[in-house]
């Protein structure tokens, strides 16, 4: 379990007026057995409405089930949502996604993911990739 302070510094987007957007992320997980794990993330972030320029809070919630396929290869399925509080135009968005992770070394992991929106306010689909590096 961890509590992670975070800050978003958006560039090239006039809707944020070059403002810092702080937030807090509570991350938690449990290993069920050598194959299965579960966890989630509960966070809130300051957000600026792109249409009105007014600030509001976005709550984000996720829940993940992870699968250890080999020592280096994993997979996961996830539900997550963005829930705006006191927003002028933003609507709640729900998503489902899944992906694969590959542990290159003890400190470097590569991942790919694909998902789709579960309600009308969410984008229809998304694809992505990532690289995580643990610094010691």
Q: Write the burial class of residue 81 (CB in 10 Å: 0-12 exposed, 13-18 middle, 19+ buried).
A: middle
**Tokens coding 42:** 């509960």
Provide the residue range defining the domain that includes 97.
2-133
C-alpha–C-alpha distance, residues 115 and 95, integer Å? 7
Please count the other Cβ atoms lying within 10 Å of the Cβ belonging to residue 16: 19
Distance CA 67, CA 34 (A): 9
Helix, strand, coil share of the chain (percent; to 5): 0, 70, 30
- The alpha helices in the chain, defined as continuous H runs, are none
Q: pTM (2 decimals)?
A: 0.85
pLDDT for residue 49? 86
Question: Residue 101 has what pLDDT?
Answer: 98
Q: Has residue 40 got a pLDDT over 70?
A: yes
**Residue 9: predicted pLDDT:** 81
Instruction: Give the pLDDT band (50/70/90) at residue 30.
Output: very high
CATH for 35: 2.40.160.40
pLDDT digits (tens, 9 = 90+) for 53-110: 899 999 999 999 999 999 999 999 999 999 999 999 999 999 999 999 999 999 999 9
| φ, ψ for residue 16, nearest 5 deg | -95, -5
Query: HSE of 2 in the Cβ direction (CA atoms, 13 Å)?
Result: 3
Give the total number of structural domains in the chain: 1
Max distance between CA atoms of the chain, in angstroms, equals 49
Contacts of 93 (CB under 8 A, 6+ apart): 81, 82, 117, 119, 121, 122, 123
């Amino acid at each position: 379990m961890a509590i992670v302070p975070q800050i978003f510094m958006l560039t090239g987007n006039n809707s944020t007026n070059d403002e810092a957007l702080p937030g807090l992320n509570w991350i938690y997980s449990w290993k069920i057995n050598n194959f299965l794990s579960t966890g989630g993330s509960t966070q809130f972030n300051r957000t600026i409405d792109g249409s009105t320029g007014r600030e509001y809070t976005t709550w984000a919630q996720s829940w993940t089930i992870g699968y250890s396929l080999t020592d280096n290869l994993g997979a996961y399925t996830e539900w997550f949502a963005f829930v705006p509080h006191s927003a002028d135009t933003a609507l709640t968005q729900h998503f489902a996604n899944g992906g694969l992770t590959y542990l290159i070394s003890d400190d470097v992991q590569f991942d790919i993911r694909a998902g789709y929106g579960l309600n009308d306010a969410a984008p229809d689909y998304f694809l992505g990739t990532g690289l995580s590096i643990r610094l010691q």
